[in-house]
Structure 1
Amino acid sequence: MFSFFKKNPIKKLDKRYEAKLEQAMQAQRNGDIKGYAMITAEAEEIKLQMLALEKDSAK
């Protein structure tokens, strides 16, 4: 009945994903390649979660 009050979890994950990509870019610019790789891996995990939620919501 009040489903319009619920926040969209995909939007929240998208913001986290974009923030991680920004952090990764900054790490790469600073020459921290190991940090860049770790942060990029975290961003990819968030992207997989987003895709799973989108798949579930499409059903």
Structure 2
Amino acid sequence: MSVKLRLAVGVVLVGVGLGFLIASIYLMYIYHVMASLFSAILGFTVTSLGIDMIKEKKPV
């Protein structure tokens, strides 16, 4: 995978993950606790995958 593509996919994953985290706050506000927890777990996972993809160095 090229460096630019890896960076772009990482940025998209971070954006999607943050979207899930915002959704988890909204779901907690309307008292859907299990959906909120699932959304938060998914958000943290996707965000961390995106950050790892951005920070990953291309092997020499």
TM-score normalised over the length of structure 2: 0.71
State the Cα distance separating 1:47 from its structure 2 match. 2.0
What 5-or-longer segments of structure 1 have no aligned partner? none
**RMSD of Structure 2 on Structure 1 (CA):** 2.4
Closer, same or farther in 2 for the Cα pair 1:58/1:28, shift >3 Å?
farther
Q: Which protein is bigger by CA-based radius of gyration?
A: 1
Task: Provide structure 2 residue ranges, at least 5 long, that are not aligned to the other structure.
Answer: none
- Equivalences, count: 56
Corresponding residue of 2:33? 33
Alpha-carbon distance in structure 2 between the residues aligned to 1:47 and 1:14: 4
Provide TM-score, normalisation by structure 1. Answer: 0.72
Question: Aligned partners of 2:28, 2:56: CA distance in 1, in Å?
Answer: 34
Q: Runs of 4 or more off by more than 6 Å in structure 1?
A: none
